[in-house]
RNA sequence: GGGUGGUUCGCAUAGUGGCAAUUGCUCGACGCUGUAAACGUCGCGUCCUCUGGACUUCGGGGGUUCGAGUCCCUCACCACCCA
């Protein structure tokens, strides 16, 4: 069962307020999907994740295939039972690992352009440790080096066994330093794979097709039109969008090529700076590791008047700071603990420190998005 | 009193005669956007005109040597063993 209902469309921007119905419950959109790569939000249990206001999680096909393996999850009663998360779940297809374990690893870069880097990836380039072919991708397991192959058929089979409510088509996430020609080929592969994913899927899970095209407007639009022509339940928009300032430009050109009635999930974008901007472009869902990842690295996102700021609790300075992490925040961390203690825990590498910051950051991000939903409702954006 | 081993960057360590000198931790700075991520990169004697240069270092003092953290003598301290 899968439905998406748009409750309100903004008159001031492309923002939409909606409800996504899945077999496991509702998701108010726009929403953040925190990243539970290994069927867990690192440091938190499912009950705690719920208490952060999280409505939907995204787990990872590639990593769960390696460990514990989809068959174990299936035998455990599917991902929901396995991890005791009763709400909506998605699985990413493994397409991001084509990048992160491939060119991302080779070049030591993330998927977002940092500057106007020169294009280093030309047509026909291959990463060192990953081989990309027309039918799929050969990987080496980051756990033990074992060879493995993942293509559209494999990814879908695995995702069916894992059993999330929403699954993603297998795609290739091209690196930000790609040339036009390289991305063009990657988009072709992704489109070819998208069709296969739809053909082989037998389950009743919802499936989202992924739009690629990097920073190239023509490719983005072509990809959006193509993916839109296929009977996907929703859309993922992946890859990079060039330097920060071009992200919204590209989204504004891409999203109108997608049927309005189907939800759009922006893959892997969700710094606080980006969230409102992308929602105004018409994004309904997005996932991002920033709140959890930064939390474990000692950084808390907190209110600063109407805005926000980052606090790096690793700094000794905070050992003298007796204020709550965020005096405007109603989460249990901010109700019960002070910055001096949190800083101590982080500096002492205590696991509870990582947990408390993870909890707060997720609570903060979810609250941040909830406020944006309010703004759409009230016609303020 | 005798013997043996030790004394190197905040701590712990590596150092064969050519070293401002290893590694780990601590400390500091920075970075993390579909998680190879409780992680990574860099710095950590002093100073400077800082992709390089100058100066001062390896418990103290003396010696051998072109050159000593490394060899010799001596003193101090620490550890263990024997009285």
Structural domains present in chain A: 2-288 (3.20.20.105), 298-366 (no CATH)
Band (pLDDT 50/70/90 cuts) for residue A116 is low
Instruction: Quote the percentage of chain A above a pLDDT of 70.
Output: 99
Q: What is the mean pLDDT of residues A318-342?
A: 97
Which pLDDT does position A112 carry in this prediction?
87
Given a cut of 80, is residue A117 above it in pLDDT? no
Given a cut of 70, is residue A324 above it in pLDDT? yes
Strand B near-CB residues (< 7 Å), A 47-86: 58, 60, 63
Which pLDDT does position A141 carry in this prediction?
94
List chain B nucleotides near protein: any atom < 7 Å from a Cβ.
26-39
Protein CA A346 to sugar C1' B10 (Å): 21
Given a cut of 80, is residue A119 above it in pLDDT? no
Which pLDDT does position A21 carry in this prediction?
98
Question: In this structure, are residues A313 and A346 in contact, taking their beta carbons and an 8 Å threshold?
Answer: yes
**Which nucleotide is closest to the Cα of A210 by its C1'?**
B34
pLDDT tens digits, A126-139:
999 999 999 999 99
> What does the block give as tokens for A43?
């440091």
**pTM of the model as a whole:** 0.95
Instruction: Quote the percentage of chain A above a pLDDT of 90.
Output: 94
DSSP H helix total and E strand total for chain A: 15, 16
Question: Does the annotation mark A287 as catalytic?
Answer: yes
| Chain length of chain A | 381
Residue A226's alpha-carbon distances to A152, A254, A282, in angstroms, are 17, 12, 19
Residue located via tokens 């690992």: A97
């Amino acid at each position: 069962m899968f439905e998406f209902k748009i409750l309100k469309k903004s008159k001031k921007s492309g923002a939409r307020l909606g409800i996504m119905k899945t077999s496991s419950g509702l998701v108010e959109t726009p929403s953040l999907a925190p990243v539970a790569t290994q069927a867990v939000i690192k440091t938190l249990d499912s009950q705690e994740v719920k208490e952060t206001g999280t409505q939907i999680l995204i787990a990872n096909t590639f990593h769960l295939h390696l460990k514990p393996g989809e068959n174990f999850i299936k035998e455990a009663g599917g991902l929901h039972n396995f991890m005791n998360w009763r709400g909506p779940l998605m699985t990413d297809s493994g397409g991001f690992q084509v990048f992160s374990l491939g060119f991302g690893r080779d070049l030591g870069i993330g998927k977002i352009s940092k500057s106007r880097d020169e294009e280093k990836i030309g047509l026909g380039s291959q990463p060192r440790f990953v081989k990309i072919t027309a039918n799929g991708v050969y990987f080496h397991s980051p756990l033990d080096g074992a060879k493995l192959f993942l293509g559209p058929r494999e990814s879908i089979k695995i995702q069916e066994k894992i059993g999330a409510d929403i699954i993603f088509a297998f795609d290739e996430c091209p690196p930000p330093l790609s040339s036009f020609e390289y991305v063009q080929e990657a988009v072709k592969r992704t489109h070819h794979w998208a069709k296969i994913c739809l053909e082989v899927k037998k389950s009743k899970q919802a499936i989202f097709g992924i739009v690629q095209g990097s920073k190239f407007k023509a490719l983005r639009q072509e990809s959006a039109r193509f993916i839109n022509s296929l009977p996907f339940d929703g859309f993922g928009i992946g890859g990079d969008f060039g330097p920060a300032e071009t992200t919204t430009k590209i989204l504004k050109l891409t999203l109108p090529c997608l049927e309005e009635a189907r939800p759009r999930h922006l893959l892997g974008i969700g710094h606080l700076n980006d969230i409102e901007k992308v929602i105004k472009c018409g994004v309904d869902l997005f996932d991002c590791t920033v709140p959890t990842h930064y939390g474990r690295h000692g950084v808390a996102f907190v209110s600063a008047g109407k805005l926000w700021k980052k606090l790096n609790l690793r700094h000794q300075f905070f050992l003298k700071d007796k204020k709550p992490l965020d005096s405007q925040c109603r989460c249990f961390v901010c109700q019960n603990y002070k910055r001096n203690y949190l800083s101590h825990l982080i500096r002492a590498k205590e696991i509870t420190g990582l947990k408390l910051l993870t909890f707060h950051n997720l609570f903060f991000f979810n609250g941040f998005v909830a406020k944006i939903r309010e703004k759409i409702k009230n016609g303020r954006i």
